[in-house]
Chains A and B, each alone.
Chain A
Amino acid sequence: MNAEIERQPEEEIKPPVASVGVIGWIRANLFSSWFNSILTLITLYVLWKTVPPFFRWAVIDSNWFSTAEVCRGSEGACWSIIPANIRFILFGFFPYESQWRPLVAMILLVALLFYSRDRKHWKKSLAYAWVIGLVVMGLLMKGGILGLASVETTQWGGLPLTLMLSVFGLTAAYPLGVILALGRQSKMPAVKTLCIIYIEMIRGVPLITLLFMSSVVFPLFLPEGMTVNVILRAQAAIIMFTAAYIAEVVRGGLQGMSKGQYEAAESMGLNYYQTMRLVILPQALKIVIPPTVSQLISALKDTSLVVIIALYDLLKTTQSVLSDPAWMAFSSEAYIFVALIYFLCCYFMSSYSRRLEKELDTGL
């Protein structure tokens, strides 16, 4: 008789020891073939050579709140450069005694961002919260009323500037990019041509060129005596640049939609805007969440290019600290710190996008 039939359900046969648990995992993942075994050994050797020395430099021998002199005598990392210069790194030339204002503005911005993460909070009240929040942030930064000393925008710098350029740049670029993508798909030849020209032109030049044009060429065309704020110009350049890239990403999503979806929407009498807003875009934008977020992340990092038009963003304020002879030798520590801030921002975005994808997953 067949053994399968005779066996009772209770007598379960256990898998061999070598294929489960820690040993099983190690065998399957690290030593599954002779080639993989060699790779594993090489990797272990490299880690052993690099991690302990780095740990010694960064933690064991490091200085955290010492003076620059003490640091120079030490073998380890000099994290002291951060606390000693933190206020300049974060706020740049913002008047020293008023630096609580950008701090509060930043906390407000980050709090609003975190609160907006949850889609359950997406109600009308949230829109009001943002409007009020933005006005408060603007007042805090600019001052001039309620007894707050007025601060020129030329004195804005550091993290608030970086966050401002990124958050407003990205939130404005996204809808603009979607509109451009729809325009490029339009049946109206004029709209279509304009959108293609815009997208291809912007994508054809580096961001640095756009920033230069906005700060050097653009003012030449303005009437005598009229000026547009330099931060605003940089912001516009970043928005224009990012929007063109977003547009191409979104176009990919639109082209991925099946014709049947358009036909089903149209055959029940929905007009073009309803079809797009209710049926096509919700699906197309969902498909392109991963490439869109890549685009937004790279745009966030690109904001550091505004240094070339003499804006003091987070990276530039850090570099300025390093021009101080006392701290000149500790650029690694300063850059690691700045890298960490950038990483946190980017990680926030990518983890949020993964969560959004999960939430919007409807099994098709």
Chain B
Amino acid sequence: MPEKNDHTNSEPTGDAIIEIMDMHKWFGEFHVLQDVNLTVQKKERIVICGPSGSGKSTLIRCINRLEEHQRGRIIVDGIELTNDIKNIEKIRAEVGMVFQHFNLFPHLTIVENLTLGPIWVRKIPKKEAEETAMYYLEKVHIAEQAKKYPGQLSGGQQQRVAIARSLCMAPKVMLFDEPTSALDPEMIKEVLDVMIELAQEGMTMIVVTHEMGFAKSVAHRVLFMDYGQIVEGNTPQEFFENPQHERTKLFLSQIL
């Protein structure tokens, strides 16, 4: 059974877990990420926002190498991302990812979705993996659906299962790629609630989202991206009340 996290200590520790230095990425001729520098500390929670096409999703997809960067360095948990497939697999096991469209495996039951990674990547015995799976399903308030298939669940339930699936791998970092964008309005809250609980337990999180309420209440830092660059980053309070750049002001005036 996973250890219970210390609720009182959910503040950044000061040790870097992700370091991104002078990173560039191109899609063909298109310079999608330009000179990105970002250091994420353990237990830090970062929200990335910005207009569509600004490179936010591409940035977090570079962190677990779903996208390849072409210049600069990315170091995750002390391992640099290179073409070495073994290193990439190691990092992916430590970095959980939640997608906009859930991407559950439709041919497997909920509990099988959750145990697949632990059994095959972590080599955990099936029984133990199932116990862990049930623990996390309880946590996302969905244990009674364990034997169903993803196709039988609502969008909000599926996204909560997807979060539980990532947690089963006991990741050190969680990446969220617009986790609520594909949900009906009445289901957004149930997913955000689960993410807030996760934040309170001290999970390191990088969240790409348009949910500014979530950013205000949960994030340590809010980053604004535009045209492939991090335009500015600040504490939520400073960011929303006192934005520095014109582009940030324009963006905030459009969404708030």
Interface residues of A (CB under 8 A from B): 258, 260-261, 263-271, 274, 278-279, 282-283, 286, 360, 362-364
Interface assignment of B197: CB less than 8 Å from any CB of chain A:
no
B207 at the interface (CB under 8 A from A): no
Residues of chain A within 8 A of B120, CB atoms compared: 270, 274, 278
B59-100 with Cβ < 8 A to chain A: 64, 66, 85, 89-90, 92-93, 95-97, 99
Q: A269 to B107, Cβ gap below 8 A?
A: no
Chain A residue with Cβ nearest B105: A279
Given contacts A278-B120, A362-B107, is CB(A268)–CB(B152) below 8 Å?
Answer: no
Would A263 and B107 count as touching, CB distance under 8 A? no
A261-B105, A362-B107, A364-B106 in contact; A268/B166 too (CB < 8 A)? yes
Beyond the given pairs A261-B103, A268-B97, 11 more chain A to chain B contacts, judged by CB atoms under 8 angstroms and listed by A's residue number, are: A263-B66, A264-B99, A267-B92, A268-B92, A269-B92, A270-B120, A283-B106, A360-B107, A362-B149, A363-B151, A364-B106
- Which among A258, A261, A271, A363 is the interface contact of B89 at CB below 8 angstroms? A271
Asked if B46 is at the interface of the complex by the 8 Å CB criterion, the answer is no
B89 nearest CB across to chain A (Å): 5
Q: Are B169 and A283 in contact (CB under 8 A)?
A: no
Contact status of A268 and B106, CB under 8 A, knowing A362-B151, A364-B149, A364-B150:
no
Q: Are A260 and B151 in contact (CB under 8 A)?
A: no
| Inter-chain contacts of B42 with A (CB < 8 A) | none
Pick from B85, B149, B150, B169: contact of A268, CB under 8 Å: B169
Check A286 against B107 for contact (C-beta < 8 Å). Answer: yes
Assess whether B196 is interfacial by the CB under 8 Å rule: no
Docked-complex contact B150 and A269, CB < 8 angstroms: no
The residues of B that contact A269 with a CB separation of less than 8 Å are 89-90, 92-93, 117, 121, 169
5 tightest A-B contacts by CB? A364-B151, A363-B151, A269-B93, A364-B106, A264-B103
CB distance from B54 to the nearest CB of A (A): 20
Q: Are A263 and B103 in contact (CB under 8 A)?
A: yes
A294 CB to nearest chain B CB (Å) = 22
Q: Mark B27-68, 1 if CB is under 8 A from A, else 0.
A: 000000000000000000000000000000000000010100
Chain A residue at smallest Cβ distance from B166: A268
- Taken residue by residue from 106 to 123, chain B's Cβ proximity to chain A (1 for < 8 Å, 0 otherwise) reads as 110000000011001100
CB pair B152 A363 closer than 8 Å: yes
Tell me the complex Cα distance, A271–B105, Å.
16
Q: Give complex CA distance A261, B88 in Å.
A: 18
B101 at the A interface (CB under 8 A) = yes
Cα distance A363–B106 in the bound complex, in angstroms = 8
Q: With A and B bound together, what is the CA distance between A261 and B93 in angstroms? A: 16
Would you call B165 an interface residue if the criterion is a C-beta within 8 Å of the partner chain's C-beta atoms? yes
Nearest CB on A from B193, distance (A): 23
Residue B104 lies at the interface, judged by CB distance under 8 Å to chain A: yes
- With a cutoff of 8 Å between Cβ atoms, the chain A residues found around residue B116 in the complex are 268, 270, 278-279
Number of A-B contacts (CB under 8 A): 73
Query: What total of chain B residues lie within 8 Å of the partner, measured CB to CB?
Result: 28
Which residues of B sit under 8 angstroms from A360, Cβ to Cβ?
107
A314-B166 Cα distance, complex, nearest whole Å: 57
> In angstroms, how far is the closest chain B Cβ from the Cβ of A182?
17
Looking across the interface, which residue of chain A has its beta carbon closest to that of B92? A269
Minimum CB–CB distance from B96 to chain A (whole Å) comes to 8
Given contacts A261-B105, A363-B152, contact A267 B89 (CB under 8 A): no
24 A–B pairs (Cβ distance < 8 Å), ordered by A:
A258-B103, A263-B66, A263-B99, A264-B99, A264-B104, A264-B105, A265-B105, A266-B66, A267-B92, A267-B95, A268-B93, A268-B116, A268-B121, A268-B169, A269-B169, A270-B116, A270-B121, A274-B120, A278-B116, A278-B120, A282-B107, A283-B107, A363-B149, A364-B151
B169 to chain A: which residues have CB within 8 Å? 268-269
Name B119-150 residues within 8 Å CB distance of A.
120-121, 149-150
- What separation, in Å, do the CA atoms of A271 and B106 have in the docked complex? 19
Q: A267 touches which one: B66, B107, B149 (CB < 8 A)?
A: B66
Q: How far is the CB of A261 from chain B (nearest CB, A)?
A: 6
Most B-side CB within 10 Å, residue of A265, A266, A267, A279: A267
Minimum C-beta distance from B98 to chain A (A): 9
The residue among A260, A261, A264, A282 with the most chain B CB atoms within 10 A of its own CB is A264
Contacts of B103 in A (CB 8 A): 258, 260-261, 263-264
In the complex, what residue of chain B is closest to A263 when comparing beta carbons?
B66
> For residue A264, which residues in chain B have a CB less than 8 angstroms away from its CB?
97, 99, 103-105
In angstroms, Cα B124 to Cα A268, docked, is 14
Q: What separation, in Å, do the CA atoms of A267 and B88 have in the docked complex?
A: 9
Minimal Cβ-Cβ distance residue in B for A363 = B151
A338 to chain B, nearest CB (A): 40
Q: From residue A255, how far is it (CB to closest CB) to chain B in Å?
A: 17
Whether B99 pairs with A266 at a CB distance below 8 angstroms is: no
| Cβ B121 vs Cβ A267 within 8 A | no
* Nearest CB in chain A: distance from B205 CB, A: 15
Contacts of A278 in B (CB 8 A): 116, 120
Name the B residues within 8 Å of A362 (CB-CB): 106-107, 149-151
Tell me, rounded to whole Å, the shortest Cβ–Cβ distance linking B68 to chain A: 13
Docked pose: A266 CA to B104 CA in angstroms: 13
Task: Find the B residue at minimum CB distance from A267.
Answer: B97
A272-B90 Cα distance, complex, nearest whole Å: 14
Distance between B165 CB and nearest chain A CB, rounded to angstroms: 7
- Report Cα–Cα, A270/B120, bound state, in Å: 7
Using Cβ atoms and an 8 Å threshold, which residues of chain A touch B90? 269
Nearest chain B CB to A259's CB is how many angstroms away? 9
CB contacts (< 8 Å) of B89 on chain A: these are 269-271
